[in-house]
A and B are shown apart, each in its own frame.
Chain A
Amino acid sequence: NAGVTQTPKFRILKIGQSMTLQCTQDMNHNYMYWYRQDPGMGLKLIYYSVGAGITDKGEVPNGYNVSRSTTEDFPLRLELAAPSQTSVYFCASSTRLLTGGSILPDEQYFGPGTRLTVT
């Protein structure tokens, strides 16, 4: 298993340009997430998905869009890049444990990240 893969690794955008950050997982996980990590800071949730065709906003969704047409792929779209979107972007996936009739959260597997600079 390759796990969670992200492309590209690095990208420089000019203000106003658009781009799509790709994320693919091969673990058949239903749950997928996009985070951004600013220098020296923690992880902020942008969008997440609990399955194909279902997406929801996280803590900082403005300026981003997502889609989930398949279980494997969860691309993140930046329509009008702004300097405030300079960050490292991480995609993650997870599953749920079914134990004793309860559905429990489980480990999130992270991709290697995409470093984006908007100038």
Chain B
Amino acid sequence: DAGVTQSPTHLIKTRGQQVTLRCSPKSGHDTVSWYQQALGQGPQFIFQYYEEEERQRGNFPDRFSGHQFPNYSSELNVNALLLGDSALYLCASSLDPGAGGGEQYFGPGTRLTVT
């Protein structure tokens, strides 16, 4: 049973550039959530996708956008990168968002460094 996978594992970008991160959910899961985790902090909720739509969103600017595909995989896009966007980006998948949120399973993350 394949778990959550993310790509790439590491990425280095320059300020002002754009980046796309990818996530494939655990087999059988239909909901994907994205998080940003800065060093020494807990993950911060960016947004959640279900049925190819953004269902919930945390307190992140519009520079952060996403997409979910019919096969439930997802992308996170960040435009106009800032130094402060350097972090570990985690994707998590789950089932049944309508019931208040099921258990989430995390991928290994993509470590983004903005220089």
Chains A and B bind each other: no
